[in-house]
């Protein structure tokens, strides 16, 4: 069991999410930076889909109330990690004794860090997932001071000591595949998408990145009936400013999608803090 | 093989199928059947108003996907499992009932009669878990959304907006016109499936005291 002394700025429980339920209006949800999420679990010997904490900007302060030694690892956006006030490694496993506190400080780059604990966070799953979904409200609520996080029985002894972390880029370039509604835009719009240095707006969250930079002009002005939207969709509402849908995105949308970023690019998007400049590289499928 | 359905790329592993004439829920069901037979792993199949979004576990070239669609079109899905009819008991006590009467020129009793005598089609979900857009609203009952959405619509509210009627499964913000309420639980996290109403089903409303 981990006791939450301080929740951090915005910390949620995340795992692989709940794909397969979109036809019932359920967002996919799940850890936003999959590479860092999987790495955190590998470092503590968990199955790759075990539930972890996803932090935003500043991580939590936790006290171990477990009866045995826990193995922890923090990955993703680099941040100082302290155990009882002493520095602990990042992107590598470390031990925490019963009664000790763990603190994840403010990120020095990127946005989201991942804290995995051996055994995984054992909260009750909803539709097969322990992910907290900010759009639908399914799954565990964001962390609050005083909460307790049950930890499952540790399985394997971790065999991975160190893995080259995926890294966080200051000016990420996101690969995007045109479609499905690229035809609703002027011929120039894809060029504008590729040429513009997009700034991530502070109103961004797990639902999506709101981007500022240029207007993507539409050719077809009519209303688009509600249709399914893939994770990574770049949807363009009436004001012409794109929104990149992350994993808590709505299942259907009423605005045309000019392109969809690749799975690899989604990890980069997850670390794009407000104010970050990002670019798109349009490629064929 | 040729098909009248057109699929647009939607990311590395997805396609958005335009379904202009046929029923998206039916195409979605056909896709599940054909993919199951051919052992093609589907992640999500999402019907929209006139589209179906398909996410595959692995990328599939456009030609192969077109061939799959052609098979879907010739697939009879009359015996599909995920259909059926559900009847929802409604108290017609919504706060917007008088407004709907004014907008449509109908009396409250006429609104209730039309709403309870129509078999609505569960077309697609969205907006929130278990929120299902029901189509088949007669033209006389079509009303615009409220100019200002409510911050909180109580769970179980029965509502009208444009071509749709729906039940809010849980409390949420919302801009539809509320005409009634139901005690029926339409969403249960612990149930399998968690939604009582799913795309492809027929929904009827019955007046209760």
**DSSP string for residues in B12-42:** SSEEEEE-SSS-HHHHHHHHHHHHHHTTPPE
Rg (CA), chain B: 19
Which pLDDT value is given to residue A162? 72
Question: What mean pLDDT is predicted for residues A140-144?
Answer: 98
Which pLDDT value is given to residue B2? 54
> Do A252 and B45 count as a contact with CB atoms less than 8 A apart?
no
B52, B131, B189 member nearest A25 (Cβ): B131
Question: What mean pLDDT is predicted for residues A238-266?
Answer: 96
Q: Six-digit token pair at A248?
A: 């808590």
Tell me the C-alpha distance between B74 and B146, whole Å: 42
Question: What mean pLDDT is predicted for residues A5-30?
Answer: 97
Q: Which residues contact A206 (CB under 8 A, 6 or more apart)?
A: A12, A32, A133, A134, A135, A246, A247, A248
Check CB contact of B173 with chain A, cutoff 8 Å: no
CA atoms within 13 Å, Cβ hemisphere of B74: 8
Which pLDDT value is given to residue A166? 74
Say whether pLDDT at A106 is over 90.
yes
Residue A267 three-state SS = helix
B51, B170, B199 member nearest A227 (Cβ): B51
pLDDT digits (tens, 9 = 90+) for B159-188: 999 999 999 999 999 999 999 999 999 999
Interface mutation target, options B46, B130, B162, chain A, most CBs of A under 10 Å: B46
Domain with CATH 3.30.1360.40 in chain B: 6-73
Question: What residues of B are in contact with residue A226 (Cβ under 8 Å)?
Answer: 48-49, 124, 126, 133
Which pLDDT value is given to residue A59? 98
Which pLDDT value is given to residue B77? 75
pLDDT digits (tens, 9 = 90+) for B15-26: 999 998 778 999
Q: Six-digit token pair at A282?
A: 């349009």
A285: pLDDT confidence band, cut at 50, 70 and 90?
low
Q: Which of B135, B115, B141 has its CA nearest to residue B201?
A: B135
Q: Are B25 and B62 in contact (CB under 8 A)?
A: no
Which pLDDT value is given to residue A168? 79
Say whether pLDDT at A110 is over 90.
yes
Q: Are A31 and A46 in contact (CB under 8 A)?
A: no
B153: pLDDT confidence band, cut at 50, 70 and 90?
very high
Bridging pattern class, strands B202-207 and B85-90: parallel
Closest CA–CA distance from residue B90 to any residue of chain A (Å) = 22
Q: Six-digit token pair at B90?
A: 């409604």
In chain B, which among 20-39 make CB contacts under 8 A with chain A?
Answer: 28
Which chain B residue lies closest to A20 (C-alpha atoms)? B44
Closest CA–CA distance from residue B129 to any residue of chain A (Å) = 4
> Do B47 and A179 count as a contact with CB atoms less than 8 A apart?
no
Question: What residues of B are in contact with residue A250 (Cβ under 8 Å)?
Answer: 126-127
**How distant is the alpha carbon of residue B206 from its chain centre?**
19
Average pLDDT in chain A: 95
Tell me the C-alpha distance between B86 and B202, whole Å: 6
Which pLDDT value is given to residue B78? 66
Question: What mean pLDDT is predicted for residues B29-43?
Answer: 95
Helix (H) or strand (E) holding B10, with range, is none
Tell me the C-alpha distance between A227 and A180, whole Å: 11
Question: What fold does the segment set B85-207 form as a domain?
Answer: Cyclophilin (2.40.100)
Closest CA–CA distance from residue A257 to any residue of chain B (Å) = 9
Interface mutation target, options B13, B15, B16, chain A, most CBs of A under 10 Å: B16
Q: Which of A51, A43, A50 has its CA nearest to residue A93?
A: A43
Q: Six-digit token pair at A268?
A: 């980069």
Check CB contact of B193 with chain A, cutoff 8 Å: yes
Which pLDDT value is given to residue B159? 98
Report pTM: 0.94
Check CB contact of B127 with chain A, cutoff 8 Å: yes
Which pLDDT value is given to residue B105? 97
Q: Which of A1, A6, A261 has its CA nearest to residue A146?
A: A6
Q: Which of B106, B148, B134 has its CA nearest to residue B201?
A: B134
Distances (CA, A) of B125 to A36, A252, B121, B141: 32, 8, 12, 21
Beta partners for residue A258, in sequence order: none
Structural domains in chain A, sorted by start: 2-149 (no CATH), 173-282 (2.40.100.10)
Which pLDDT value is given to residue A153? 92
> Do A25 and B47 count as a contact with CB atoms less than 8 A apart?
no
CA atoms within 13 Å, Cβ hemisphere of B153: 30
pLDDT digits (tens, 9 = 90+) for A81-101: 999 999 999 999 999 999 999
Average pLDDT in chain B: 93
Check CB contact of B123 with chain A, cutoff 8 Å: no
Check CB contact of A20 with chain B, cutoff 8 Å: yes
In chain B, which among 84-103 make CB contacts under 8 A with chain A?
Answer: none
Q: Are A39 and A179 in contact (CB under 8 A)?
A: no
Q: Which of B146, B94, B140, B134 has its CA nearest to residue B114?
A: B140
Which chain A residue lies closest to B11 (C-alpha atoms)? A260
Say whether pLDDT at A284 is over 90.
no
B9, B11, B127 member nearest A25 (Cβ): B127
pLDDT digits (tens, 9 = 90+) for A189-204: 999 999 999 999 999 9
Q: Are B200 and B122 in contact (CB under 8 A)?
A: yes
> Do B130 and A25 count as a contact with CB atoms less than 8 A apart?
yes
B27: pLDDT confidence band, cut at 50, 70 and 90?
very high
Check CB contact of A229 with chain B, cutoff 8 Å: yes
pLDDT digits (tens, 9 = 90+) for A220-247: 988 899 999 999 999 999 889 999 999 9
Tell me the C-alpha distance between B111 and B26, whole Å: 30
Which pLDDT value is given to residue B79? 54
> Do A226 and B43 count as a contact with CB atoms less than 8 A apart?
no
* Lowest mean pLDDT across A161-170, A265-274, B38-47, B82-91: A161-170
* Lowest mean pLDDT across A166-175, A206-215, B132-141, B174-183: A166-175
Which pLDDT value is given to residue A205? 97
> Do A252 and B131 count as a contact with CB atoms less than 8 A apart?
no
Which pLDDT value is given to residue A167? 74
Helix (H) or strand (E) holding A36, with range, is helix A34-43
Question: What fold does the segment set B6-73 form as a domain?
Answer: Gyrase A; domain 2 (3.30.1360)
> Do B127 and A179 count as a contact with CB atoms less than 8 A apart?
no
Longest dimension (CA), chain A: 63
Question: What mean pLDDT is predicted for residues B4-15?
Answer: 94
DSSP secondary structure string for all residues of A74-123: EEES---EEETTEEE-SSBEEEE-TT-EEEE-B-SSSS-EEEEETT-B-P
Q: Are B166 and A226 in contact (CB under 8 A)?
A: no
Distances (CA, A) of A17 to A13, A116, A261, B46: 10, 16, 19, 17
Question: What mean pLDDT is predicted for residues B68-77?
Answer: 89
pLDDT digits (tens, 9 = 90+) for B97-150: 999 999 999 999 999 999 999 999 999 999 999 999 999 999 999 999 999 999
Check CB contact of A128 with chain B, cutoff 8 Å: no
Which pLDDT value is given to residue B82? 55
Q: Are A233 and A245 in contact (CB under 8 A)?
A: yes
* Lowest mean pLDDT across A65-74, B2-11, B14-23, B182-191: B2-11
Helix (H) or strand (E) holding B134, with range, is strand B128-135
Which pLDDT value is given to residue A158? 73
SS3 content of chain B, % helix, strand, coil (to 5): 20, 35, 45
Which pLDDT value is given to residue B80? 52
Q: Are A257 and B7 in contact (CB under 8 A)?
A: no
Q: Are A2 and A148 in contact (CB under 8 A)?
A: yes
Domain with CATH 2.40.100.10 in chain B: 85-207
Beta partners for residue B90, in sequence order: B207
Interface mutation target, options B54, B125, B152, B166, chain A, most CBs of A under 10 Å: B125
A178, A228, A262 member nearest B16 (Cβ): A228
> Do B53 and A263 count as a contact with CB atoms less than 8 A apart?
no
């Amino acid at each position: 069991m981990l006791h939450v002394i301080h929740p951090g700025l915005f910390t949620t429980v995340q795992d692989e999410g709940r794909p397969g339920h979109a036809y019932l209006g359920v967002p996919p949800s799940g850890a936003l930076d999959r590479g860092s999420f999987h790495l955190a679990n590998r470092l503590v010997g968990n199955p790759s889909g075990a539930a972890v904490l996803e932090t935003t900007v500043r991580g939590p302060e936790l006290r171990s109330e477990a009866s045995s030694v826990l193995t922890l690892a923090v990955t993703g956006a680099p941040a100082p990690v302290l155990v009882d006030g002493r520095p602990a490694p990042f992107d590598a496993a470390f031990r925490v004794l019963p009664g000790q506190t763990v603190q994840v400080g403010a990120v020095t780059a990127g946005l989201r860090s991942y804290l995995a604990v051996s055994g995984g966070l054992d909260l009750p799953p909803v539709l097969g997932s322990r992910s907290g979904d900010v759009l639908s409200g399914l799954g565990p609520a964001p962390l609050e001071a005083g909460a307790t996080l049950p930890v499952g029985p540790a399985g394997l002894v971790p065999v991975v000591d160190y893995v080259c972390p995926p890294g966080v880029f200051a000016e990420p370039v996101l690969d995007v595949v045109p479609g499905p509604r690229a035809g609703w835009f002027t011929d120039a719009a894809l060029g504008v998408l590729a040429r513009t240095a997009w700034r991530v707006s502070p109103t961004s969250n797990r639902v999506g990145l709101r981007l500022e930079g240029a207007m993507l002009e539409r050719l077809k002005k009519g209303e688009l009936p509600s249709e399914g939207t893939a994770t990574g969709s770049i949807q363009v509402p009436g004001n012409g400013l794109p929104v990149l849908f992350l994993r808590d995105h709505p299942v259907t949308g009423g605005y045309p999608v000019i392109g969809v970023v690749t799975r690899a690019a989604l990890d980069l998007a997850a670390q794009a803090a407000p104010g970050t400049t990002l670019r798109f590289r349009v490629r064929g499928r | 093989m040729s098909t009248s359905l057109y699929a647009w790329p939607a990311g590395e592993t997805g396609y958005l199928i335009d379904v202009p004439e046929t029923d998206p829920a039916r195409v979605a069901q056909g896709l599940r059947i054909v993919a199951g037979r051919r052992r093609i792993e589907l992640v999500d199949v999402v019907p929209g108003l006139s589209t179906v979004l398909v996410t595959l576990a692995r990328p599939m070239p456009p030609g192969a996907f077109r061939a799959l669609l052609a098979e879907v079109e010739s697939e009879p899905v009359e015996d599909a499992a995920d259909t059926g009819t559900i009847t929802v008991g409604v108290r017609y006590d919504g706060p917007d009932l008088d407004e709907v009467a004014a907008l449509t020129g109908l009396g409250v009793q006429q609104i209730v009669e039309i709403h309870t005598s129509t078999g609505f089609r569960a077309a697609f979900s969205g907006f929130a878990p278990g929120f299902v857009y029901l189509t088949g609203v007669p033209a006389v009952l079509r009303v615009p959304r409220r100019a200002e959405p409510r911050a909180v619509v109580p769970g179980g509210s029965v509502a009208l907006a444009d071509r749709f009627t729906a039940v809010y499964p849980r409390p949420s913000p919302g801009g539809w016109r509320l005409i009634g309420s139901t005690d029926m639980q339409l969403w249960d996290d612990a149930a399998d499936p968690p939604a009582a109403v799913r795309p492809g089903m027929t929904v009827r409303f019955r007046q209760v005291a």
